[in-house]
Amino acid sequence: MGSGRNVAVFGAYGHTGRFVVAELRERGYVPLLLGRDQGKLTALAQAQPGLETWQASADDPAALDRALKGADAVINTAGPFASTAGPLVEAALRAGIPYVDVAAEIEANVDTFAHFAERAGAAGIAVVPAMAFYGGLGDLLVTTAMGDWTAADEVHVAYGLSSWHPTAGTLASGTVSSQRRGGRRVRYSGGQLQYHDDALPTLEWPFPAPLGPQSVIGEFSMADVVTVPSHLAVPEVRTYMTAKAAADLFAPDPSAPTAVDERGRSEQTFVVDVLVRSGDTERRVAAAGQDIYAISAPLAVEAVDRILTGRTRTTGVASAGAIFDAPDFLRALSAHLTVHLPLDMRG
């Protein structure tokens, strides 16, 4: 349990931030509610009596320093992360506390590694970007599937989403990412991120039962193209998205998620199916659950819990698979995730 330690949540009143606040409380942590809008913070605090609020903009270092005083860690759920990740990592380093974010913006994830690896490493402070459904979960599954391998020829991460009702934050982050890459597409191939204008292929992916084969969009690059190669020697990392979910996301007027249960989860279900290949040998692991936003909360909070209790393998900027014991981490989420370990191992 969290033993009453304080964890700041930047963007606390956002859709994902609220899931994170609830998860922290459930696990015995005291969330500090941080964000740029005092009115929204006050409204959230009225629904969560007893919690402190701290108004701070990402571009106000002094306000961030005041807000992080007394915090044992910070979770950043405020996206687009192009504007928030850098300033919040800086503030965490000044405060000497670990930083975890849920960024699914490939460029922001790259920046966190590029700009902070040296300083966070030297300071011995854990900085874990993309510690959420996209980026973190895929990396934990890939690392688990790799087992004793440290290198592989290919990694495939297939997202079997039943639907995708995106939040405003998701849509804004997608727009910012697209602008940052000049409207081009990105994939991880030949051991590097490649920017291109090729049409994305539609193919069929054999998800495990009960989902079964689904039409997916290939090279639908998600944060896994940053997290996985950050610590594993794999020249090809390909991610796929069910065509139905991709169509929902790009619909002219996409609708936001609506809660269908007491936890606030939507009816969306997911399967993340991972296949790693080395020569003729393939290893597979899959995980299934409900609501990609809701599941991001136990992922981020479990990460903070492991960092604060010293259950880490490295420090500095690191992805989930690099810093945590991946199979053990996945087992710890059994209340939220059904992990098939392994589905198919040949060779």
Ligand X SMILES: NC(=O)c1ccc[n+]([C@@H]2O[C@H](COP(=O)([O-])OP(=O)(O)OC[C@H]3O[C@@H](n4cnc5c(N)ncnc54)[C@H](OP(=O)(O)O)[C@@H]3O)[C@@H](O)[C@H]2O)c1
Task: Name the residues that contact ligand X, by CB under 6 A.
Answer: 11, 13-17, 35-37, 40, 58, 77-81, 83-84, 102, 104, 130, 132-135, 167-170, 173, 223, 292-293, 296
Smallest distance, ligand X to C-beta of residue 19, A = 8
Q: Nearer to ligand X by C-beta: 17 or 31?
A: 17
Task: Give the angle subtended at the CA of 297 by the CAs of 193 and 260, to the nearest 5°.
Answer: 115
Smallest distance, ligand X to C-beta of residue 345, A = 27
Q: Nearer to ligand X by C-beta: 79 or 316?
A: 79
Q: Nearer to ligand X by C-beta: 248 or 282?
A: 248
The residue number with the shortest CB distance to ligand X is 79
What does R_g of the chain's alpha carbons equal in angstroms? 19
Smallest distance, ligand X to C-beta of residue 124, A = 25
CA distances from 266 to 12, 76, 135 (A): 19, 22, 21
Q: Nearer to ligand X by C-beta: 16 or 214?
A: 16
Confirm if 125 and 71 have CB atoms less than 8 A apart.
no
Smallest distance, ligand X to C-beta of residue 2, A = 21
Instruction: Report how far residue 105's alpha carbon sits from residue 166's, in angstroms, rounded to the nearest whole number.
Output: 14
**Listed residue (140, 101, 128) closest to 272, CA to CA:** 140
Smallest distance, ligand X to C-beta of residue 176, A = 9
DSSP state of 133: I
Q: Nearer to ligand X by C-beta: 144 or 173?
A: 173
Beta strands in the chain (DSSP E): 6-10, 30-35, 53-55, 73-76, 99-101, 127-128, 154-161, 185-189, 192-196, 202-206, 213-217, 236-242, 269-278, 281-290, 338-345
